[in-house]
Amino acid sequence: MGQIATSNRQITLYYSSKSVRAKQTLIYAKAEGLPIQEIDILKTKLTGTQIVELANRLKIEVKDFVNQEHPEYTRQFEHHDFSENDWIKMIQKHPEIMKQPIALRGDIAILVETPTDIIKI
């Protein structure tokens, strides 16, 4: 059992409050009447275990969570292949570089590419 609790009755949305796509996703979900638990990754620091669990649920590696095109990433780092622990520390120190929003419902997890993706869950 993981550290992240989910329910089939609500969607847990991990997002950055600075993300336009995340804001649009929240507006769309609320307009559709979907029950949402919001977790703003800029306000709620994710543990290393939570980051790994989210990656596992999405069936991706932790390094694939990092948006290497994000301005904060390009300002702070060069494209490089780091260890999993290094990627985790980077995400924890600079959560804005994490790809998001991520929606969870029960055992289903998706990386939201467009706001309407939220209804797929």
**Ranges 4-8, 13-17, 49-53, 62-66: which has the least confidence:** 4-8
CATH number for the domain harbouring residue 59: 3.40.30.10
Instruction: Tell me the mean pLDDT in the region 71-95.
Output: 89
Q: Judge whether 1 lies within some domain.
A: no
Q: Assess whether pLDDT exceeds 80 at residue 84.
A: yes
* Band of pLDDT at residue 2, cut at 50, 70 and 90: low
The C-alpha atoms of residue 108 and residue 6 are separated, in whole angstroms, by 9
pLDDT tens profile 51-81 = 999 999 999 999 999 998 888 888 888 777 7
Does any domain span residue 2?
Answer: no
Total Cβ atoms within 10 A of residue 46: 20
Mean pLDDT value of segment 105-118:
93
- Which domain covers residue 115, as residue numbers? 11-120
57: in domain: yes
Say if residues 57 and 82 touch (Cβ distance below 8 Å).
no
Number of structural domains, the chain? 1
Looking at the DSSP bridge assignments, the partners of residue 14 are: 39, 102
The verdict on residue 25 lying in a domain is yes
Asked whether residue 35 is assigned to any structural domain, the reply reads: yes
pLDDT tier, 1 (very low <50, low <70, confident <90, very high otherwise): very low
Task: Copy the structure tokens of residue 94.
Answer: 């600079």
Is 6 inside a domain boundary? no
